[in-house]
Structure 1
Amino acid sequence: MAGHISDRAVDAIAGLAREPRDPVSFWRACTAVVADVIPHYKSPCWLTVDPESLLVTGHFHEELRAVPPDWLATGYADDGAGRGLGMLKSGTGVTTLHEATGGDPTHSPRWHVNMRIGAHQEMLTRLGLPTGEVWGALGLYREQGTEMFTDADKGFLAAAAPYLAEGTRRAVLLGQASAASPPDAPAMVVLSEGWEIRSRTPGIEYWLADLPGGDPGAGQLPSALAAVAAHALHKARTPQSRDGSGPARARVMGRSGNWAVVHGSPLESSLDSPFDSSLGSSLGSSLDEGGERRVAVIVERARPQELFPILMSAYELTPRERDITRLVLDAATTAEIAQSLFISPHTVQQHLKNIFAKTGVRSRRALVGKVFSHA
C-alpha cells in the first residue's frame, strides 16, 4: 500500500511539473504531495541554485521569510561531508545530515543552526535532471524524538527529484522583465563576517530589494548575496588544491524578471582587489579596521553570453540546437551555420523549427529578442 501511495505521489509531482507555474506556486503544490508520503517538521525548505556553481540563489519556506545568513554559511564552511554543498554533491542525491556526519551531527555547525528552529534531523534532496544539471534542493526536517528518515523516504524523493527539478527549471522562465530597469553599472556591497553592511556603492539598493530573499527595510540580505559571500570567505581560508568547489559566483533572476550575476571576493587591507577601482573609491580607505574580515560582493546585470547556458538548458535544447542558437545570436546565415557545423541547410532549418517550438517564437529575430530580453 505504501508503495502505491509513493507511486501516485511521484505521478502527481510529474503532472505539476508540466504545468506553467512560478516557483513558489509549484513548490507549495508539491509540499502538499510530499507531506502525504513523508511526515516532517513544520515546512520544507525549497532552494534554487545556480546549476554551474551550486550556490544558493533563492529560497522558499512558509515559516521563514529569509534564510539566516549563517545557515547559508554552513553550506560552504569547511565542515566535511556534513556541509550543505557536500550533501548536494552526494552520489545518491538524497542524504541526511546524520548519515553525512557518521551518525553524530552534533559536531556540525549546520546541525546547531537547525536546532535553533527545533530541527534535529535534516534530509536534503538534490533537484537534478537526468542530464546531471542541478536546479535546486529540498530540505525536510524532523524534531528530536521522532522516527529517523527511512530508506523508503529517500527512495521516494530520489524518484520524485527529476520532476521537482523539471518543474523548478520551467518556473525559472516565467519571470518577465518589468518596466523598472536595473542599473547599467556594477554595484558593490561590503559585508562583515557578521553579515552587516559596512559600505555600499550607488545602485546596490535596487538589487538588495529585487533579488529573492532581500528586504532592505528588515535588514535581510538576498539569499544569493549571503551564499556568494559565505563561499568567498570559505575559499579564502581553503587552499585551492583542497577546494573542489566552484567559483564564488551565481546567476539569479530577480523578482522583476531581470537577471543578475553575483560574485564576491574577500577584501584585504587595501583597495588592491580584482574589482574596478571606481567601485572601490567610494568605500573609504580602511576596509578591515579592527582586524575584521570583510567580503565584497558585486552585482551586475547579466549579459546574454552569461545567461546563454542556463536559458538553453531551461528551454531543454539539445546540444546541436544550442550550437545553432549560439550561431543565430551571432547573426550567422543558414548557409554559414551549415558550413560551420558540417550539416545541410535543410537540417539547419529542421533544427530551427524545433528551437522555435521550444522557445515559443516564430522567427530568428524573435529568438534573439527572447534571449536578450532576459539580460
Structure 2
Amino acid sequence: MVGTAVWLRSRGRIQHICESAGDARELRLRLLEEIRRVVGFDAYAFLLTDPETSVGSLPLADVPCLRELPRLIRLKYLTALNRWTTLKASAPVALLQEATGGDPSHSLLWRELLREYRISDVASTVFRDRSGCWGFLDLWRSDAAARFSPAEAAYLAHIADAVTGALRRCQADTFKACGPHPPRPGPVVLLLSGELQVLGQTPETHEYLRVLVPPERGRTPIPATAYNVAAQLLAFESGVDSHPPSARVHLSDGLWLTLRAARIGSAQPPGTRGIAVTIEEASPRERVEVFTRAFGLSAREAEVLGHLVAGADTREVAGRMFLSEYTVQDHLKSVFSKTAVHSRRALLARALGS
C-alpha cells in the first residue's frame, strides 16, 4: 500500500533525480530504481518518443520475452487498449486489469504474447505535456495474484509531470552548435518483413544501429528503434493510430536522425510486401520542429524562429507576422531566455546544429 508519507519522500527523490540527471538514459535508469522502491514490478519497457508522432525510440527494457522483441513491439503498436497515444496528461496512467474489468484477454498484446509469460497486470504511463509526447513506461507484474492498485497508479500519475519535464529537458540538452557532420555513405536502409524480421540492410545501417542502441560486447545491435517505426506503419495501416510512421532521434554530438517506414513495391497487397526503414540526418525543418517543442516555445515564438531560420531579419519578420518590430524583439528575448543563448547567431547555431 502506497501511503502519503511514502509518496512525499519518493517525490522529493524523484524531483532530485529529474533535476540532476545528465542524459535521458541515466535519467530513466535512476527513475526506474526509485519507482521500484514504491511500486514493485517484474519487468519494464521505458521508451523515448518523437514529441509530434509519439513513435518510440531508444528503449530501455528488461522483459522476459526479449528474444521475441519484434513480436512484442508489433503487438504493442497494434493494441488499442491503454495505448500511450490515447492517454492524456491529465490522466497519464492506465492499468490493464482495471481497464479490462479483470479480463486481460481484451488486450491483443496480452492475449497473443504476455499470457505466455504469465504477466498478470501492466501499468502504462505516458509522459506528455502541451509541447508533445516525450516517452512512455510500461511496468509488468507476473504474480498471478498481484495487480497494480489504484494507490500505485495514483503515485505514478503524481510523478508524471516531473518526469515529463525532465525527459523534455534531456532532449533539449542534445541540441548543440557542433558544426557540419562528415557525410556518411548511404543509403541507410533496413528491410523488414511484416512480422518485423530483418531481411537485409545496407552496410552503413549496422553502424548507425550500434550507436542508437549500443549492444553488449560481441553482439549484433538490435534495431529496436527501427522496429518501433515499422510497427507504427502497421498500426497506421490497421487504423489503430493515425500518426505517421516516423521518428526523429538524437544519435550523438548534436546529430539528429529521422527514421521512416514504408512498404516496398506496389505489385502485391500492402500486407504481403516488405517494409523499408530509412535512416537519414534530420532536415533543418525536422530538427527545428523538435527544437521548438523541446524548449517549450509558444506558437508565436516558434513562428519567429521559423522566419529567422529562413533568413529573415527583424523588419521582415515583423512584416510577415503583422507585428511591430518591438513585439518581435520581445518574442526573441523570450526565445533567448528559454534556449539559454544571447544572440541570433547562437540561437540558429543551436537550432540547426551548425
Question: Could you state the TM-score of these two structures normalised by the residue count of structure 1?
Answer: 0.81
CA gap of 1:10–1:181, structure 2 versus 1, over 3 A, is farther
Contact 1:233 1:266 (8 Å CA) reproduced:
no
Query: Unaligned 5+ residue runs, structure 1?
Result: 274-287
Q: Which residue of 2 aligns with 1:285?
A: none
Q: Which residue of 1 aligns with 2:262?
A: 265
Contact 2:120 2:146 (8 Å CA) reproduced:
no
Task: Please state whether the residue corresponding to 1:59 is helix, strand or coil.
Answer: strand
Task: Please state whether the residue corresponding to 1:316 is helix, strand or coil.
Answer: coil
The two structures, once aligned, show a CA RMSD in angstroms of 3.3
1: CA distance, partners of 2:155 / 2:35: 9
Task: Please state whether the residue corresponding to 2:247 is helix, strand or coil.
Answer: strand
Match of 1:251 among 248, 251, 259: 248
Question: Could you state the TM-score of these two structures normalised by the residue count of structure 2?
Answer: 0.85
Per-residue deviation, 1:109: 4.2
CA gap of 1:214–1:258, structure 2 versus 1, over 3 A, is farther
Q: Which residue of 1 aligns with 2:200?
A: 199
Deviation sequence 1:187-231 (CA, Å, 0-9, x none): 222112343332333532332222236689634433220011122
Task: Please state whether the residue corresponding to 1:254 is helix, strand or coil.
Answer: strand
Q: Which residue of 2 aligns with 1:331?
A: 311
CA gap of 1:109–1:181, structure 2 versus 1, over 3 A, is farther
Q: Which residue of 1 aligns with 2:328?
A: 348
- Which stretch of structure 1 is more off in the superposition, 326-335 or 117-126? 117-126
Mapping for residues 270-349 of structure 1, pairs under 5 Å = 293-349=273-329
Per-residue deviation, 1:41: 2.0
Contact 2:51 2:134 (8 Å CA) reproduced:
yes
Per-residue deviation, 1:21: 1.8
For these two proteins, the number of residue pairs brought into alignment is 349
CA gap of 1:221–1:292, structure 2 versus 1, over 3 A, is farther
CA gap of 1:63–1:148, structure 2 versus 1, over 3 A, is closer
1: CA distance, partners of 2:146 / 2:199: 44
Mapping for residues 62-141 of structure 1, pairs under 5 Å = 68-77=69-78, 79-81=79-81, 84-85=83-84, 88=87, 92-106=91-105, 108-111=107-110, 112-115=112-115, 119-129=119-129, 131=130, 133-141=132-140
2: CA distance, partners of 1:307 / 1:366: 16
Query: Unaligned 5+ residue runs, structure 2?
Result: none
2: CA distance, partners of 1:145 / 1:188: 42
CA gap of 1:186–1:122, structure 2 versus 1, over 3 A, is same
Task: Give % identity.
Answer: 26
Contact 1:213 1:222 (8 Å CA) reproduced:
no
Contact 2:131 2:294 (8 Å CA) reproduced:
no
Contact 1:67 1:223 (8 Å CA) reproduced:
no
CA gap of 1:123–1:20, structure 2 versus 1, over 3 A, is closer
Task: Please state whether the residue corresponding to 2:81 is helix, strand or coil.
Answer: helix
Task: Please state whether the residue corresponding to 1:297 is helix, strand or coil.
Answer: strand
2: CA distance, partners of 1:226 / 1:321: 35
2: CA distance, partners of 1:231 / 1:213: 23
Task: Please state whether the residue corresponding to 1:166 is helix, strand or coil.
Answer: helix
- Which stretch of structure 1 is more off in the superposition, 47-56 or 191-200? 191-200
Task: Please state whether the residue corresponding to 1:81 is helix, strand or coil.
Answer: coil
CA gap of 1:197–1:140, structure 2 versus 1, over 3 A, is closer
2: CA distance, partners of 1:307 / 1:360: 18
